[in-house]
Structure 1
Amino acid sequence: ELEKSKPVVLTGDLNCAHEEIDIYNPAAIPS
């Protein structure tokens, strides 16, 4: 159905940090 209309461009920061191990410096991030 999308092919019948204008093209879709998805942009943005799609990264998610679910755990502290996913963050470079978790101590710098306020909780």
Structure 2
Amino acid sequence: MGLNSIADTKFFLKKVLFLQFNTFKVKKGP
């Protein structure tokens, strides 16, 4: 498990943060 699990978690967190950032930008609008 170890390193692979950590890498997967980091990737998952990055994806979630990226999606949240995009939705925030969309909500805020131009």
TM range (shorter): under 0.3
Q: Going by fraction, where is helix more abundant, 1 or 2?
A: 2
Normalising by structure 1, what TM-score?
Answer: 0.21
Relative contact order higher in (CA < 8 Å, ≥ 6 apart):
1
Normalising by structure 2, what TM-score?
Answer: 0.21
